[in-house]
Chain A
Amino acid sequence: MKATANINEFIITRLIKLSGYSAILFVSLIFFFLIREGVPTLAEVPLDVLFSSRWYPIEDYYGIVPLISGSVIITIGATLIAVPMGVGTAVFISEVAPRWAREILKPLVELLGGLPSVVIGFLGILSFTPAIRVALNLPTGLTALAGSLLLAIVALPTVVSVAEDALDTVPRSYREGAWALGATQWQTIWRVTLPAARSGVLTAVMLGIGRAIGETIIVMMVTGNAPVLANKISSIISPVRTMTATIAAEMGEVANGSVHYHTLFFIGMMLFIISLIVNITASAVVFRSQKRAEKVLS
C-alpha cells in the first residue's frame, strides 16, 4: 500500500517537474529557431539597408525601422488608454462597487476578454475608422490611433482581471488600519491598497502591453499597413505598419530560405527581444520595490 503511494508520489512529482521545465525548453527552442532563421539576415542585408526607413521587400528594400516604430507607437497609445482605464476598473470592482455591481462587472469584463480579436477588428473597420476620419477630419481613419483604441479594448480585460486579483490579495487589515487612522476611501485606495498591490498591478500592466504588442489581426485590419516612419507625436493619426502585421501579411508568400523569409524571422526575433525587455524591466522594478518594502519593514 505504502509502496504504491510512494510510486504515485514519484511519478506525479516528476510529471509536475517536467511540465515546469518544459516551459523553459519551449521558450529556448523557439528562441533558437528564431535565431537560426533570422540571423542570416545580418549577413544577407547590409545594416544600412536593414535600418533604413523603406520597407518594400519585393524590390529588396528591407528597412525595418518603420515597422518597429509602428508597433511601438500603437503599443504606447494602447497602454496609455488601457492602463488608467484598466487599473481604474479594477479598483472600482474590488474596492468601491457594491456586491451586485461587482457580480455583473466581473463576468462582463471576462466576456470582453473572450471576444475573438477578428470580431473586434471587424467592428473597428466598420464603425471606428470612419468615425475617427470624420471626427478628427483626417484623410483616412485607418490610422495608428484606431489600432491603439482597439488594442486598448483587447488589453483591458487582461489588465483588469490581473490587477483586480492583486488588489483582492491585499489583507483587509490594511484597509481597516487606514480607516481607523481617519483616511478617506480615496486616500486608502491611493496610499495603502494600490501600493500594497503594486507588484501585481505592474504585472497586469506588463501583461497588457504584451497583449497589445503581439496582437496581429486587428492592426492588420485597421492601421492601413503603410510602412511610414512613425517618428513624431502626430504619427498617431497617420497610417502605420506593425511588425506583427508584416509577418502575417507576407509570411505566406515568401519562398523558404530567401532573404525576405530570413528578414521576416529577424522581425520575429526583434519582437521576441522587445517583449523580453518589457518582462525583464517589469520584474526588475517589482524586485526593487519588494526589497525597499523589506527594508522599510525591518
Chain B
Amino acid sequence: MNRLSILLIIFAIFLPFSSGCSSNDPNSDLPTVAEQAYIENKGSDTIVNLALVWAETYQKDHPEVRISVTGGGSGTGIAAMLNGTVTIANSSRAISKDELQQAAEKNILPIEHIIAKDAIAIIVNPQNPVARLTLQQLSDIYSGKISNWKELGGEDRQIVRLSRETNSGTHVYFLEHVLRLGNKENKTLFSPDTLLLPSSEGIINELRSNPNAIGYDGLGYVPEDLKMVEVSKDGIEPYMLPSADTVNNNQYPIARDLYMYTAGEPNDFVQQYLDWILTAQAQQIVQDLGFVPVSKE
C-alpha cells in the first residue's frame, strides 16, 4: 500500500511533464519544421546587449524564428561568419582588408548592414578633476607621451591606461581614429604598458576603484557612477559629452557605425530580420540602450 502510494505520487509529479511534451510534439512536428528558421548571431561585445534585446523582441512577434546571440569580439564574429558557423556577424568596425581577402579565398562576399551608431565615451574615475580633453591629448595619453595627470591640469598621479583587448572592434577603432587621429600614414601604437582588459566589465571595474585610470567604452556601457570626459576634435571646436544628439550633429568626434555582416545575400528570414532592425520599433530599442539610432533618409 505504502509503496503504491509513493509510486502514485511520483507518477503524479511526472505526469504533467510527459503530457506537456506529448502535446507539444504535434505542433513542432509537421507544419513548422519547414517554416522554422534558426539565426545565429555572434560578434562584437559592444553590440551583444542590443542584439539580445532585438532578438527577444523579434522572436515574440515571429515565433517561427529562433535567434541566438553571443559575444566574443568583432574579429571573432567575422571569423565565425567566414568559417560558416554563424549566420550574422556583429561588428563594431568595418570589415578589414585581411578579412575581405580571406572571404575572397573562400568565395564569400560579405554584405554590410549598418544597424546603429555608437559613441565611444572617454571615462575616468569621478574623483579625477580632469573634465575635458582634445583628441590630440587622448592620442598622447594612450601612446605614452603624456603619463601624468598633472600635465593635463589634474592631480600629480601616474596615468593608468585601460583598453579592450586587440580582438575588440572598439580597440581597432580607437587605434585608428584617436591614437592615429584618422591618419592612415600615422603609425602610432598603444604604449606597451596599456592594460588590455578582456571585457567592458573589467574596464568599468578598474575605473570605479582606481582614480589614476582612464578608459574608453561604448556609450551604452557607461554606468551612472563613472565620469565621462568632454572631448573636442582640436580644442577649437566645442568640448562635448557623447549623446544621441551630439553624435547625430557630428559634434562629438569619437562616433562610429555599428555593423552586421552576412556571408552573401541573406535568405528571406534573415533579410526580414535585418529589415525589421531598421524599423522605428527596433531603432527605439537602440536609443533605449544608449546607442544612437540610424536615421533613415
A: residues with CB less than 8 A from B are 54-59, 61, 66, 125-126, 129-130, 133, 139-142, 220-221, 224-229, 238-239, 241, 249-250, 252-256, 258
- Asked whether A249 lies within 8 Å of B160 as measured between CB atoms, the reply is no
Chain B residues whose C-beta falls within 8 Å of the C-beta of A250 in the assembled complex: 165-167
Smallest CB separation, A255 vs chain B (Å): 5
Docked complex: B146-179 residues within 8 A CB-CB of A: 157-160, 165-167, 172
Smallest CB separation, B83 vs chain A (Å): 8
What 4 new A-B contacts, CB under 8 Å, besides A55-B192, A252-B75? Answer: A126-B205, A130-B210, A226-B194, A252-B79
Chain B residues whose C-beta falls within 8 Å of the C-beta of A254 in the assembled complex: 75, 79
Judged by a CB distance under 8 angstroms, whether B213 is at the interface is yes
- Asked whether A56 lies within 8 Å of B190 as measured between CB atoms, the reply is yes
- Give the residue of B98, B159, B189, B209 whose beta carbon is less than 8 angstroms from that of A130: B209
B: residues with CB less than 8 A from A are 72-73, 75-76, 79, 82-83, 98-99, 102, 157-160, 165-167, 172, 187, 189-190, 192-198, 202, 205-206, 209-210, 212-213
Closest to B187 in A: A59
- Give the residue of B157, B158, B193, B196 whose beta carbon is less than 8 angstroms from that of A249: B196
- Asked whether B172 lies within 8 Å of A140 as measured between CB atoms, the reply is no
- Give the residue of A61, A130, A220, A239 whose beta carbon is less than 8 angstroms from that of B193: A239
Once A140-B210, A221-B198 are accepted as A-B contacts, the answer to whether A228 and B167 lie under 8 Å apart by CB is no
Chain B residues whose C-beta falls within 8 Å of the C-beta of A56 in the assembled complex: 166, 189-190
- Asked whether A252 lies within 8 Å of B167 as measured between CB atoms, the reply is yes
Chain A residues whose C-beta falls within 8 Å of the C-beta of B83 in the assembled complex: 256
22 A-B pairs within 8 Å (CB atoms) are namely A130-B209, A130-B210, A133-B209, A140-B212, A140-B213, A141-B209, A142-B206, A220-B198, A224-B196, A225-B196, A225-B198, A226-B192, A226-B193, A226-B196, A249-B165, A252-B72, A252-B73, A253-B73, A253-B76, A253-B166, A255-B102, A256-B83
- Asked whether B209 lies within 8 Å of A66 as measured between CB atoms, the reply is no
Chain B residues whose C-beta falls within 8 Å of the C-beta of A220 in the assembled complex: 198
- Asked whether B202 lies within 8 Å of A125 as measured between CB atoms, the reply is yes
Smallest CB separation, B235 vs chain A (Å): 27
Once A139-B212, A250-B167, A255-B98 are accepted as A-B contacts, the answer to whether A228 and B192 lie under 8 Å apart by CB is yes
- Asked whether A253 lies within 8 Å of B79 as measured between CB atoms, the reply is yes
A250 to B198, CA, bound (A): 10
Chain B residues whose C-beta falls within 8 Å of the C-beta of A59 in the assembled complex: 187, 189
A46 to B192, CA, bound (A): 21
A213 to B196, CA, bound (A): 20
- Asked whether A142 lies within 8 Å of B195 as measured between CB atoms, the reply is yes
Closest to B83 in A: A256
- Asked whether B205 lies within 8 Å of A58 as measured between CB atoms, the reply is no
Closest to B72 in A: A252
Smallest CB separation, B121 vs chain A (Å): 20
Chain B residues whose C-beta falls within 8 Å of the C-beta of A224 in the assembled complex: 195-197
- Give the residue of A58, A238, A241, A255 whose beta carbon is less than 8 angstroms from that of B82: A255
Which 9 pairs from chain A and chain B are nearest by CB?
A: A253-B75, A253-B167, A224-B195, A139-B158, A225-B196, A252-B76, A130-B209, A140-B160, A139-B212
Once A54-B192, A58-B166, A226-B193 are accepted as A-B contacts, the answer to whether A249 and B198 lie under 8 Å apart by CB is yes
Most A CB contacts (10 A, CB to CB) among B172, B190, B202, B212 go to B202
Smallest CB separation, B192 vs chain A (Å): 5
Chain A residues whose C-beta falls within 8 Å of the C-beta of B160 in the assembled complex: 139-140
Closest to B158 in A: A139
A129 to B166, CA, bound (A): 23
Chain B residues whose C-beta falls within 8 Å of the C-beta of A225 in the assembled complex: 165, 195-198
